[in-house]
Structure 1
Amino acid sequence: MILALALLALFAPQQTADPTLPPATAHVRYTVEGHGVQTYNCTAQNGGFAWVFEEPAAGLFDPTTHQQIGVHTAGPTWTWSDGSSITGKVLQTKPSDNPANIPWLLLETHPTGTTTGALSNITFVRRSDTQAGQAPTSGCDAKNVNVVLRVPYAATYTFYSTN
């Protein structure tokens, strides 16, 4: 019996940790729902054409009250209704299980501006549970150079601090 359990453990598929989870020292401060668009521009590149990501534009909503409490914009930047703001740098990505969905991300953040508030001590943001938002796989060609496409998406944004 012990040998059978040891062999089962040896040959069982290994679960890989989600790279978009923050360090164990991080604590959840806020979880919000993001609803908006991912903006792409049809661009000539490398002898062909591709939809190139430009920026997000989303409202951030309290999952309980459904009231808007902030926005997510280019940078990437998150700004709360109290005026506090952070920018992020991508540390990790994980493809969504559905190729139509944008990837999950873990971002390290830093405050912007001088306003203190809800986001002042946030050190990580995680984008997860993404729905839609990917650029189409076709439609960007010589006739459509510089066409801007806004693709609706939704995601969960979790804000963490390490203090």
Structure 2
Amino acid sequence: MFTKLAAPALMLAALIGPAGAAEPLPDAIAAPGETIVLSVHAEGAQVYECKAAADGKLTWAFREPIATLLSEGKTVGRHYAGPNWELTDGSAVAGKAIGNAPGATAADIPWLKLDVASHRGSGVLTPVTTVQRINTHGGKLDGSCDKAGEFRSAPYSAEYVFLKKS
């Protein structure tokens, strides 16, 4: 028999997704003692700009992310420069990277741990103190750049896990 109490538990299990996996996260991005508020899948791109490096040579420099945040196949928000995460309920957070671990392959952007630096609006993200970017796929840009000011993007996907201190 399916009860009213079972539905929230199933929804929570779906939201936890990859973060609930048995394998522990690398120490550099782990958040011991924190609990999951929300876990979402992101599909988007990492945007790069061709710029002169300190040595004067042109190189691709990371500029910003742009991604759609998805839960159960539905758009629930967006991720953009800052870095910022904004949900359709009006809540948003901005983060500052404090830890990273390599992606699974050389083509994958790193996994990250970010402290929440600011909150906007009110909703699901209101209590969030930490964001983790895990299970990255793609996002790194290969090759040389020839013209300063040129832009390129590299498709990526990741899971973003929003946590709060217990």
Pick the TM interval, shorter chain: 0.7 to 0.9
The 1:73–1:16 alpha-carbon spacing in structure 2 relative to 1, beyond 3 Å, is closer
The 1:132–1:125 alpha-carbon spacing in structure 2 relative to 1, beyond 3 Å, is same
For 1:54-78, what per-residue CA distance to the aligned partner results, in whole angstroms no more than 9, with x for missing partners? 000000000xx21010100000000
**Is the CA contact 2:104–2:136 (under 8 Å) kept in the aligned structure 1?**
no
For 1:98-155, what per-residue CA distance to the aligned partner results, in whole angstroms no more than 9, with x for missing partners? 0100000000013333x2111011000000100000021x2213xx221100111000
What's 1:54 paired with? 63
Alignment of 1:1-163 (within 5 A): 17-22=26-31, 24-45=32-53, 46-62=55-71, 65-113=72-120, 115-136=121-142, 138-141=143-146, 144-163=147-166
Structure 2, gaps ≥5 residues long: 1-23
Q: How far, CA to CA, are the matches of 1:37 and 1:17 in structure 2?
A: 24
Shift of 1:49: 1.2
**Is the CA contact 1:20–1:94 (under 8 Å) kept in the aligned structure 2?**
yes
Q: How far, CA to CA, are the matches of 1:92 and 1:108 in structure 2?
A: 9
Percent identity over the alignment is 32
Structure with higher Rg: it is 1
Q: How far, CA to CA, are the matches of 1:27 and 1:35 in structure 2?
A: 24
Q: How far, CA to CA, are the matches of 1:66 and 1:16 in structure 2?
A: 25
Structure 1, gaps ≥5 residues long: 1-14
Shift of 1:52: 0.4
Shift of 1:20: 1.0
The 1:155–1:17 alpha-carbon spacing in structure 2 relative to 1, beyond 3 Å, is closer
- Cα RMSD of the aligned pairs, angstroms, is 1.6
Amino acid at match of 1:42: C
* Moved >6 Å (runs of 4+): none
Q: How far, CA to CA, are the matches of 1:17 and 1:87 in structure 2?
A: 23
For 1:12-69, what per-residue CA distance to the aligned partner results, in whole angstroms no more than 9, with x for missing partners? xxx99431111x220011111000000000111222111000000000000xx21010
Could you state the TM-score of these two structures normalised by the residue count of structure 1?
0.82
**Is the CA contact 1:110–1:122 (under 8 Å) kept in the aligned structure 2?**
no
What's 1:10 paired with? none
Amino acid at match of 1:20: I
Equivalent pairs counted in the alignment come to 142
